[in-house]
Chains A and B, each alone.
Chain A
């Protein structure tokens, strides 16, 4: 119960000011396209040089939690996912905003974020020693199977047909091979110097999601701008509360999936939202509504990506191994004050450790309060005439892609992928499976090569990848996931042929 003892430290005037500043600043940074949570936290590191260790970490912790949630704002209103974590939020969230329900989508997303986030931090507080063992249990072979599990999701994710989903997944897997291969250093498909570093995931996200809709808006022309002004519906916060807790299935699946996946070093944050979205869809009684502005989609995605925040810090705080890029930046924030994560942190600097964790807990609540406050105002963005909106989104996209590494190369990549996706969408392909392929490709490949090298030196590939409890469990889940997709596809086909026969 150490954490209760140190709660007071969060509420000293300076600490609380930093917490407020970190939360509000984090929301704004998170909502800015192209600024991922990792970069936002890295930007704040110099400010912590002047602060005491505990205060510096309050700022960083608050910023981390709220940037993850803030990414939902641009995902819902502009269809620009701020980070891979927010991809799944665009699928239903942006559709809701287009229907004038932006306020409802934002309220639900912030509430779900807070619930997921608080759960995640509580896991961090109470179960850290147990979870640390779990985090270490995932070796290269397990991460490989986990990535393959993600690939099986591709077919069913946000696509009219399984075949088209798999095809766009394959395009994503191919795009992921561009650039220097990370383990061997071989060059692959580098047609242009800008591709040397591979396809930057943030630039790709902006291109694939935002650019096609900009082109669609431009293609519609000026003549019908007046007619399409959307009426933005007001939505009371109380109702959002009620709706959130009537969707317990989406909320609990999202929270649990996010917590479990967030724990796994190197994979977590990127795919938590997408996997939770897919699982919720599979278990939902209203499968067909997903993708058409269904609130369960937003709730699952957002509760998952904030639930991941707490567990993702477990390997860092206990073993001193950063499990994600953001955790690596936070490690810098600790080291700069001479504090080493691990037993040193909890034994010799409990005030720093617990104040940091508490600040994330309070930060979740503050983030939710501010989020709900701006939700009503922000939703008015949908009233902006389409031609103006297209220009704004385009400008933000270019800015976002450029700001990732300060290079025009990423802007070209974004533009090319965006134009390509515009045409693919016309043939019924969708961006989400493509992005999932882009994310999972390198994870699967690197872990297969690395696991293969270990296996060759020890027990051989077959027994390394195919034996052991965790491997077998993951393989079983992969098979079940494939079987489920096949079964759904067959059932769906039987129904449609029956209807066609009757018609």
Chain B
């Protein structure tokens, strides 16, 4: 009798042992977004996870939890130190934001604290000015900045986010010094400052700037990316306008888990999640909202993180 129970227990143990990897996920998952409800990251996270409950995806829904504050530092601090590495707690990452913040210090995370799963979107930074501004190209902007050092006010979503990185790169490439004005309240507040004429120009997300241009409120002068964007085929890149600005400031958004998550869970997620992003319904909604998609697998993201780490180390070393 005793042997039978022991055998049954053993069989059960081995069963549950394999079951954790195979049956995962067996309950709904949580995705932490370190920006407020309604922001671009939150909005996109809600779209790309909407099919998670489908049988061909994870088979379990993903709930979004917002932990906003200090340009994402609050949420990522929480994720690095307090989130359970059980595969049920995911987070959205924003590169270059969290890498730049970890280089500048004062936070409890670095790229080594997290394991990337997959990337869903890439939103380049663009340079915008008010619709009635006298600037019509980056050349005009740089010329003004050279004549008036420190006087060209440029708004952006915060310090050490993609917008700030783009501003630093423009300064470095053109040998200028712009007055970068971080705003509280993210890209929307920075855009409002441009439209209302509180600042002379701004650096903002391509998706938000595209909308503002459609509404006739701003002009977009340049894209900080390697190639022109499908949403804005007429707007030249910074490189085309003679500024040596690469794609370091492009805001990559994707999903990650904390370090220490079981490898079989990571494997399962990194196989399923890119498929989930590629769903045609997701693509349609993202396209409608003016959000550029860019799906990358785990290996590609690991490489991209390492590249960013290196460029940002160099760029921020002088500050």
Q: Are B214 and A136 touching (Cβ within 8 A)?
A: no
Chain B: CB-nearest residue to A182 = B184
Scoring A residues 180 to 201 as 1 if CB is less than 8 Å from chain B, else 0, what string do you get? 1111111100000100111000
Inside 8 A of B181's CB, which chain A residues have their CB? 450, 453-454, 457
Q: Does B198 contact A (CB under 8 A)?
A: yes
User: Known: A180-B73, A196-B74. Is A266-B185 also a contact (CB below 8 A)?
Assistant: yes
Query: Which one of A45, A338, A344, A407 lies within 8 Å of B289 (CB-CB)?
Result: A338
Q: Does A489 contact B (CB under 8 A)?
A: no
Q: Are A320 and B179 touching (Cβ within 8 A)?
A: no
Task: Give Cα A336–Cα B45 distance, bound, in whole angstroms.
Answer: 12
Q: A184 → chain B, closest Cβ, in Å?
A: 7
Inside 8 A of A136's CB, which chain B residues have their CB? 192, 195-196
Inside 8 A of B70's CB, which chain A residues have their CB? 179-182, 185, 197
Query: Which one of B37, B75, B185, B285 lies within 8 Å of A42 (CB-CB)?
Result: B37
Q: Are A335 and B289 touching (Cβ within 8 A)?
A: yes
Q: Are A336 and B78 touching (Cβ within 8 A)?
A: no
Q: Are A185 and B106 touching (Cβ within 8 A)?
A: yes
User: Known: A338-B289, A453-B179, A456-B179. Is A46-B36 also a contact (CB below 8 A)?
Assistant: no
Q: B309 → chain A, closest Cβ, in Å?
A: 19
Q: A56 → chain B, closest Cβ, in Å?
A: 12
Q: Are A328 and B196 touching (Cβ within 8 A)?
A: no
Scoring A residues 379 to 390 as 1 if CB is less than 8 Å from chain B, else 0, what string do you get? 000000000000
Task: Give Cα A405–Cα B193 distance, bound, in whole angstroms.
Answer: 29
Inside 8 A of A350's CB, which chain B residues have their CB? none
Q: Are A331 and B198 touching (Cβ within 8 A)?
A: no
Inside 8 A of A321's CB, which chain B residues have their CB? 188, 191-192, 195
User: Known: A197-B69, A336-B288, A340-B211. Is A458-B47 also a contact (CB below 8 A)?
Assistant: no
Interface of chain A residues 265 through 323 with chain B (CB within 8 A): 265-266, 315, 319-322
Chain B: CB-nearest residue to A335 = B289
Q: Does B228 contact A (CB under 8 A)?
A: no
Q: Are B192 and A193 touching (Cβ within 8 A)?
A: no
Task: Give Cα A348–Cα B106 distance, bound, in whole angstroms.
Answer: 48
Query: Which one of A265, A325, A343, A457 lies within 8 Å of B37 (CB-CB)?
Result: A325
Number of chain A residues whose Cβ lies closer than 8 Å to a Cβ of chain B: 58
- The contact size tier of chain B is 35 or more
Q: Are A183 and B158 touching (Cβ within 8 A)?
A: yes
Query: Which one of B151, B159, B215 lies within 8 Å of A320 (CB-CB)?
Result: B215
Chain A: CB-nearest residue to B101 = A185
Scoring B residues 57 to 74 as 1 if CB is less than 8 Å from chain A, else 0, what string do you get? 000000001111111011
Q: Are B191 and A458 touching (Cβ within 8 A)?
A: no
Inside 8 A of A337's CB, which chain B residues have their CB? 288
Inside 8 A of B185's CB, which chain A residues have their CB? 266
Q: Are A450 and B217 touching (Cβ within 8 A)?
A: no
Query: Which one of A45, A342, A407 lies within 8 Å of B46 (CB-CB)?
Result: A45
Q: B75 → chain A, closest Cβ, in Å?
A: 8
Inside 8 A of B214's CB, which chain A residues have their CB? 340, 342, 344
Inside 8 A of A266's CB, which chain B residues have their CB? 185, 189
Chain B: CB-nearest residue to A53 = B288
Task: Give Cα A453–Cα B215 distance, bound, in whole angstroms.
Answer: 29
Q: Are B153 and A454 touching (Cβ within 8 A)?
A: yes
Q: Does A329 contact B (CB under 8 A)?
A: yes
User: Known: A454-B153, A457-B151. Is A319-B195 also a contact (CB below 8 A)?
Assistant: yes
Q: A85 → chain B, closest Cβ, in Å?
A: 17
Q: Does B160 contact A (CB under 8 A)?
A: yes
Inside 8 A of B195's CB, which chain A residues have their CB? 136, 319, 321
Scoring A residues 25 to 54 as 1 if CB is less than 8 Å from chain B, else 0, what string do you get? 000000000000011001001100100000
Q: Does A165 contact B (CB under 8 A)?
A: no
Q: Does A446 contact B (CB under 8 A)?
A: yes
Scoring B residues 164 to 188 as 1 if CB is less than 8 Å from chain A, else 0, what string do you get? 0000000000000001011111001
Q: Does B290 contact A (CB under 8 A)?
A: yes
Q: Are B211 and A457 touching (Cβ within 8 A)?
A: no
Chain A: CB-nearest residue to B36 = A325
Query: Which one of B37, B71, B179 lies within 8 Å of A328 (CB-CB)?
Result: B37
Q: Does B233 contact A (CB under 8 A)?
A: no
Q: Does B221 contact A (CB under 8 A)?
A: no
Q: A25 → chain B, closest Cβ, in Å?
A: 18
Q: Are A340 and B215 touching (Cβ within 8 A)?
A: yes
Query: Which one of A39, A193, A327, A335 lies within 8 Å of B82 (CB-CB)?
Result: A193
Q: A91 → chain B, closest Cβ, in Å?
A: 28
Q: Are B189 and A328 touching (Cβ within 8 A)?
A: no
Q: Does A341 contact B (CB under 8 A)?
A: yes
Q: Are B153 and A322 touching (Cβ within 8 A)?
A: no
Q: Are A322 and B188 touching (Cβ within 8 A)?
A: yes
Q: Does A406 contact B (CB under 8 A)?
A: yes
Chain A: CB-nearest residue to B191 = A321
Apart from A39-B37, A406-B65, A457-B181, what 10 extra A-B contacts exist at CB < 8 Å?
Answer: A49-B50, A139-B196, A185-B104, A186-B106, A193-B82, A196-B73, A265-B192, A329-B37, A331-B43, A336-B289
20 pairs of residues in contact across A and B, judged by CB atoms under 8 Å: A38-B38, A49-B285, A179-B70, A185-B71, A185-B158, A185-B160, A193-B77, A196-B69, A196-B78, A197-B70, A198-B74, A266-B189, A319-B215, A321-B191, A321-B195, A328-B37, A332-B43, A337-B288, A454-B153, A457-B153
By a beta-carbon cutoff of 8 Å, the part of chain A in contact with chain B is 38-39, 42, 45-46, 49, 136-137, 139-140, 179-187, 193, 196-198, 265-266, 315, 319-322, 325-332, 335-338, 340-344, 405-407, 442, 446, 450, 453-454, 456-458
By a beta-carbon cutoff of 8 Å, the part of chain B in contact with chain A is 30, 36-39, 42-43, 46-47, 50, 65-71, 73-75, 77-78, 81-82, 101, 104, 106, 150-153, 158-160, 179, 181-185, 188-189, 191-193, 195-196, 198-199, 211-212, 214-217, 285, 287-290
4 tightest Cβ-Cβ pairs between the two chains A and B: A328-B38, A342-B215, A338-B288, A180-B70
